[in-house]
Amino acid sequence: MAFEGLSDRLQSTIKKIKGKGKVSEQDVKEMTREVRLALLEADVNFKVVKDFVKRVKERAVGQEVMESLTPGQQVIKVVKEELQALMGGEQSKIAVADKPPTVIMMVGLQGAGKTTTTGKLANLLRKKYNRNPMLVAADVYRPAAINQLETIGKQLSMPVFSLGTEANPVDIANQAVAQAKEEHHDYVIIDTAGRLHVDNDLMDELQQIKADVNPNEIFLVVDAMTGQDAVNVAESFNEQLDITGVVLTKLDGDTRGGAALSIKAVTEKPIKFAGMGEKLDELEAFHPERMASRILGMGDVLSLIEKAQDNVDEKKAKELEEKMRSASFTFDDFLEQMGQVRNMGPLEDLLGMLPGANKMKGLKNVQIDEKQISHVEAIIQSMTKQERQDPSLMNASRKKRIAKGSGRSVSEVNRLLKQFEEMKKMMKQMTNMQKGKKGKKGKGINFPFM
């Protein structure tokens, strides 16, 4: 496999030293070599890796690891700590200007995702901070780039300032800020054209815009899949524009995202946000500690837990637990549960966040068809209230009616009924088991499908 996590990589070395009472310097050398390979495979720049491995080695050769009973795990721990130290803490605050509007400039290479991120950021500002942003279409070069931003503006019902493709981007930015002042927008987000960091003319243009509108934030938008070149890109943009932060896009892919580490190391600017999907609400605060786990291939359990906490109503979860215990779980409850799990986002994403889920045989290619979930919902919604409470009422003619109402076949209705009965049985068993273990009551979240 191309992608092996650090823990997998260290397995063989760990096995070798397991029987030994003490770890030799040679063992540590082998382990740090694996660390190096893991980071390189994750696209961390080789120079950054070099410095990093040196630090890990120093600590590892010291007492910390060599005298530990579990040296392999100690190495991972040291690596993780060093990674976290390098990545810094979470910083997702957006500047606020003393005198509105606050101006944000979006810059980056072609295809990094500037326009989409502009829309997402505006959406976040409105939803989370209750702001009233205006979007500015300053990409006059790429065909239909203005059109793209206007479509996004329409989707968000937000104003988009544009002067067409003939205007100068510097003029566009100036006029946009003036108009935002007049119309009392508190944020202006300028979407600039993608450009190479070695394109002097276009880099000058950005400097000109910066000098004129005096932005409070300059966000460098970087594709999370970027390889070794991330260092050059980040360094150039930072040198020429003194960026204030980074947005990492396409993190919902399967890339390890080592570029994050490279960028942080060379610019020392915080990575503030992460693009987690194509929808306009899929921009999240960047979590450095989770990124560290991801680069090392340890899954993203924390994100999963947080997602669950955000979306599952605790009171409802308690009620549900009660129902499960008393086996009075009905189709109505089932429907509600499905809704809650769905709120957490695509189920595939949830599976992807479990460490090792991509390695488990059965789960590797599990793909949960969102359509099938809709079908199940349709079937339940076609049941009467009584039927939902008491599935034993079902007979042939009722099933036929439900099938007709939901547009599914009778056999699908049958399958769902069977599955539901089995689920109820299982719940009963599970709750009985929990009763056995006194005091260890099911705390936390219940996933009916997992």
Which residue positions form the known binding site for GTP? 108-115, 191-195, 249-252
CB of residue 129 to another protein, shortest distance in Å: 24
Does 30 help bind another protein (rule: CB under 8 A)? no
Among positions 10, 28, 190, 233, the unique one binding another protein when judged by CB under 8 A: 233
Whether the CB-CB separation of 152 and 119 falls below 8 Å is answered with yes
Does 391 help bind another protein (rule: CB under 8 A)? no
Distances, alpha carbon 124 to alpha carbons 80, 113, 121, 250, 353, in Å = 30, 16, 5, 17, 23
Does 355 help bind another protein (rule: CB under 8 A)? no
Among positions 35, 53, 112, 292, the unique one binding another protein when judged by CB under 8 A: 112
CB of residue 345 to another protein, shortest distance in Å: 12
Q: Is 134 helix (H, G, I), strand (E, B) or coil?
A: strand
Does 282 help bind another protein (rule: CB under 8 A)? no
Does 356 help bind another protein (rule: CB under 8 A)? no
- Which of residues 123 and 216 has its CB atom nearest to another protein in the complex? 123
Query: From the CB of residue 395, how many other CB atoms can be counted at a distance below 10 Å?
Result: 8
Whether the CB-CB separation of 79 and 57 falls below 8 Å is answered with no
Among positions 12, 147, 207, 384, the unique one binding another protein when judged by CB under 8 A: 147
Does 229 help bind another protein (rule: CB under 8 A)? yes
Q: Is 123 helix (H, G, I), strand (E, B) or coil?
A: helix
| Of 60-68, 139-147, 167-175, 212-220: span binding another protein (CB under 8 A) | 139-147
ω into residue 101 within 30 of 0, thus cis?
A: yes
Does 26 help bind another protein (rule: CB under 8 A)? no
Helix (H) or strand (E) holding 28: helix 25-41
Residues 197-226 that bind another protein (CB under 8 A): 197-198, 223, 225-226
Distances, alpha carbon 400 to alpha carbons 377, 382, 395, 418, in Å = 16, 11, 9, 16
Whether the CB-CB separation of 226 and 251 falls below 8 Å is answered with no
Q: Is 218 helix (H, G, I), strand (E, B) or coil?
A: strand
Could you list the residues that contact another protein (CB under 8 A)?
2-3, 37, 40-43, 45-47, 109-113, 115, 141-145, 147-152, 155, 196-198, 223, 225-230, 232-233, 250, 252-256, 258-259, 278, 348, 352, 365, 367, 369-370
